Amino acid sequence: MKVYTRTGDSGTTSLVGGTRIDKDNARLEAYGTVDELNSWLGLLDSSKAIPQPAHATLLRAMNLLFDIGASLATEEDSKWQPAPFPAAATEALEADIDAFEASLPRHNRFILPGGHPDAARANIARTVARRAERRIISLGRDVAVDPEIVRFINRLSDYLFVLSRAINNFNSADEIFWEKTC
List the CATH number of the domain containing 34. 1.20.1200.10
Angle 49-53-58 from CA coordinates, rounded to 5°:
80
Structural domain count of the chain: 1
Cross-strand partners of 112: 176
Considering the entire predicted model, what is its pTM? 0.93
Vertex 154: Cα angle to 23 and 132 (nearest 5): 15
Cα distance between residue 73 and residue 60, in whole Å: 20
Asked if residue 13 is part of any domain, the answer here is: no
Asked whether residue 180 is assigned to any structural domain, the reply reads: no
Following CA atoms 154, 156, 160, 162 in sequence, which dihedral angle do they give, to the nearest 10 degrees?
80
Q: What is the pLDDT along the chain (182 residues), one digit of tens a residue?
A: 778 888 777 777 777 777 786 677 888 999 999 999 999 999 999 999 999 999 999 999 999 999 999 999 988 877 878 889 999 999 999 999 999 999 998 988 899 899 999 999 999 999 999 999 999 999 999 999 999 999 999 999 999 999 999 999 999 999 989 998 98
